[in-house]
Amino acid sequence: MSVLRYAKTIVAEVNPFMPRTLGDTFLHVDRIDRFVRVERPLVEYAHQPADTVTERIARYVAEIIEGMAGAAWIAATPLTLAGLGQPPRLT
């Protein structure tokens, strides 16, 4: 959140439906200039099931990435979306 160091004004949207996340996501309330409270469910995108071609591509990419610990996480989302279950091992 280094960009917030340079912001002249910080506005935070507060939504009870927003899940809490980990990582570099915390900001002290004293840094926030304005709060906007909203209470609406988050919009979620529902992916269509993968077709045969997409599944074959995902399997091929998984084989290429397998064993690349630093890059294996890149394939996690597409492979999961393609219905292949677990992403490649990170070892």
Q: Look at the chain and report how many structural domains it folds into.
A: 2
Q: Are residues 26 and 53 in the same domain?
A: no
Is a pLDDT exceeding 50 seen at residue 48?
A: yes
pTM higher than the cut 0.85: no
What's the count of helices (H) and strands (E) in the chain, helices before strands?
A: 2, 2
Number of Cα atoms under 13 Å in the Cβ half of residue 54: 12
Q: Are residues 33 and 58 in the same domain?
A: no
Q: Are residues 33 and 56 in the same domain?
A: no
Q: DSSP state, 12?
A: E
Q: Are residues 56 and 33 in the same domain?
A: no
Long-range contacts of 57-63 (CB under 8 A, 24+ apart): 57/82, 58/82, 58/84, 59/84, 62/87, 62/88
Q: Are residues 33 and 49 in the same domain?
A: no
Is a pLDDT exceeding 50 seen at residue 91?
A: no
Q: Which domain holds residue 19?
A: 2-37
Instruction: Determine what percent of the chain is predicted with pLDDT higher than 90.
Output: 25
Distance from C-alpha of 15 to C-alpha of 1, rounded to nearest angstrom: 19
